[in-house]
Amino acid sequence: MNPIRPKILVVDDTPANLVAMRRLLARADADIFEASSGNEALALCLDHQFALVLLDVNMPEMDGFEVAEFISENDHLNETPIIFVTAAYADDVNRIKGYTAGAVDYIAKPINDVILQSKVNIFLELYRARALLQSALDELSTRNEQLTNEVAERTRMEQLVRHQATHDALTGLPNRLLFRERLEGAITLGNGGGATFALAYIDIDGFKGVNDASGHAAGDELLKAIALRIDARTRGTDTVARLGGDEFAVLLHDTADAAGALTRCQALCDAVAEPYTLTIGDIRVPARVGASIGVTMFHHGMAYDEIVAIADGAMYEAKRSGKNRCVLA
């Protein structure tokens, strides 16, 4: 990327001096701007970014020192280099005053062409180098922003893929894969002396009848409604999962004893059994189902397959003994 073409501002209240300066700077690879007063110079500085300002010291109304002080005190202009062009170059007092005002160099009048060209070229090269550096920094900043966005998007996609792989697409609950991961984690903690917990297996009674009578859309809406009810009646630390079809499981943390586990599961059973009104398109479909729940407490030394088999067996016992009830293994 090519940097912006440099601009030089020449400030002098004498027209002949401006003409002479224009001639001397004709070979400079820059656009030349002219101002015949301090006010005109400041107006141009506010509208343009100059690579260099060649500033006459002695001007009426606003002299070069005042112009330089304004430029050096302005946040948007204070990096603009100023060279004073003056017949008083040999005067140490004026020279110190000029440096204090913000000048970076002096050129004595009458102007030596070689000295002028040499100093101007130095500042133009500095300007081009700074412009190239700024361009590189801007490009780097843009690229860093792109990389940050790409990393954020990749992270988001990875999280989405992970969520899709571990959650049921219909109900949004954890699926069998994530449920196993959490149950195995709870078992590891329990066998290591951590808090005890209970495991409940739930099978929906009467779901097939609703599905067959009202269609799969009604069945899907019913499963989502059931999932919401179970999830709403468990704790934030619990895990409610859909294992597939009309089977759910609940990992009940911080459950101290079997009586407490049975009480919590009975609340789930009662919630599932409450009537439903399903909305299928423009049609409202009433539905009633129940839940057969098998629950077991975790005991030290249990493994994953063992506790799952016990809870599953208790759930089938609930079905055999009349459905819509809880059985504690």
Residues serving a catalytic function are 246
- Among candidate residues 238, 231, 251, the one with its CA nearest the CA of residue 297: 251
Sequence-distant (≥ 6) Cβ neighbours of residue 229 within 8 angstroms: 271, 272, 274
Would you put residue 12 in left (φ > 0), alpha (ψ -120 to 50) or beta?
beta
Q: Which two tokens stand for residue 256?
A: 């101290």
Asked if 107 and 83 touch (Cβ cutoff 8 Å), the reply is yes
Torsion angles phi and psi, residue 291, rounded to 5: -140, 130
| Cis peptide preceding 6, ω within 30 of 0 | no
- Among candidate residues 28, 3, 45, the one with its CA nearest the CA of residue 130: 3
Taking the C-alpha atoms of residue 198 and residue 298, their distance in angstroms, rounded to an integer, is 6
